[in-house]
Amino acid sequence: MLGPGLRVVKANGVLVALGMCLVVLSGCFWRGYPARIRTHSALLVSFAQKGRDLVATGRFTAESLPELTYPLERAAAFAAQAHASTTIPPPSLLAFDALIARYRTFVDLVDQTRRAGTGPAAAQALAEPLAAVDAAAAAVTAALDGEPGSARR
C-alpha cells in the first residue's frame, strides 16, 4: 500500500532537482565571468578616455553624462551579481570594485571639470584620475590572470 511516505520521497526529489539546477546556474555565471569582467573593465577605460577627450574639446554637456554613467551602472550591477554568487569574492572581483570606485570618482570629476572650462587645462585636470582608472583596470587584469581557470579568452 502506498501511503504518505511516497509524497515525502517525491518532495525530497523535487528539492534535490531544484538544488542541482541552482548549482548548475551558478556555475554558468562563473564560466563567463572572466570574459565579462574583462569586457566591463575595457569599457570603463574606453569611456573614461572618451569623457576626457570630450571635455578637452568642449563637446561634453550635461546631456552627455548618461553616456558615462550607463557603463558604470552596468558594471556595478555585474559586480553585485558576482558578489551575490559567492561567499568569498575572488581577487579580481575586489580589484573590479576598486575600478568601479575610481571610475565613479572620475565621472564626478568630469562633470565638475566641464563646468569649469575646456581645453588643455581641462584635459590636464583629468589626467591623474584617468591614470587611476587605467591602473585599476590593469589591476583587475593582473588579478584575473592569476586566478585558476581565468585564462584570457
Asked, for residue 22, whether it belongs to a domain, the answer is: no
* Cα–Cα distance list, 130 to 28, 108, 109 (Å): 33, 12, 10
Mean pLDDT for the stretch of residues 27-56:
92
Q: Give the Cα-Cα-Cα angle 64, 70, 75 (nearest 5 degrees).
A: 145
Q: What pLDDT is stored for residue 18 in this prediction?
A: 55
> What's the DSSP call for residue 50?
H
CATH of the domain at 122: 1.20.120
Nearest Cα residue to 129 out of 66, 80, 64, 68: 68
What percent of the chain has pLDDT above 90?
A: 65
Which amino acid makes up residue 21?
C
Asked, for residue 77, whether it belongs to a domain, the answer is: yes
Q: What is the pLDDT of residues 85-124, one digit of tens each?
A: 999 999 999 999 999 999 999 999 999 998 888 888 988 9
Q: Could you give the 3-state DSSP secondary structure of residue 153?
A: coil
Q: What pLDDT is stored for residue 19 in this prediction?
A: 54
Asked, for residue 17, whether it belongs to a domain, the answer is: no
Asked, for residue 1, whether it belongs to a domain, the answer is: no
Asked, for residue 11, whether it belongs to a domain, the answer is: no
Asked, for residue 14, whether it belongs to a domain, the answer is: no
- Quick check: 8 pLDDT over 70? no
The separation between CA 105 and the C-alpha centre of its own chain, rounded to angstroms, equals 15
Q: Give the count of domains, the chain.
A: 1
Q: What is the pLDDT of residues 47-63, one digit of tens each?
A: 999 999 999 999 988 89
- Quick check: 153 pLDDT over 50? no
Banded model confidence at residue 1, pLDDT cuts 50, 70, 90: low
Nearest Cα residue to 55 out of 103, 119, 101, 146: 119
Q: What pLDDT is stored for residue 119 in this prediction?
A: 84
Integer Cα distance of 98 and 22 in angstroms: 29
- Quick check: 5 pLDDT over 90? no
Give the residue numbers spanning the domain of 47.
Answer: 33-145
Q: What is the pLDDT of residues 125-149, one digit of tens each?
A: 999 999 999 999 999 999 999 998 7
Half-sphere exposure of 82 (CA within 13 A, CB side): 24
Least confident window among 5-19, 35-49, 71-85: 5-19
The set of cell numbers assigned to 6 is 511516497
